[in-house]
Amino acid sequence: MRLLSIAALLALMAAPASAQMMNLMPEVKTMTAEEKEQDAIRQKAYRDSLRQIPDNKANLDPWGNVRSDAPKAAPAKQPRTKTGSATH
């Protein structure tokens, strides 16, 4: 009886999983000649737009003109005593 109930439980758990796996292979859609032409035009426009982006390697820090000076160095740490308080 126990074996039968385990088999029924596994079958009930496998049914939803197999239903989800039915659509793993999408339908293959072939492109028409007009769609291929439109895709080629779109790809060419994309490549042309990428070429128009300037290759500005001289100014890698866009916020450089906002900062006035280099960041200040952190103050030196003071040694601590056994109680954790700083020495004076």
Q: What is the dihedral of CA 53, 55, 60, 63, to 10 degrees?
A: -30
- Tens of pLDDT, residue by residue over 19-64, are 666 666 777 788 899 999 999 999 999 999 999 987 766 666 777 7
H-only helix segments in the chain:
2-20, 33-51
Which residues 6+ apart lie within 8 Å of 81 measured at CB?
87
Q: Which residue type sits at 33?
A: A
The partner residues of 80 in beta bridges, in order of sequence, read 86
Tokens of 55: 């290759």
- Note the pTM of the prediction, 2 decimals: 0.36
pLDDT of residue 49: 94
Residue range 1-15: average pLDDT? 81
pLDDT of residue 86: 60
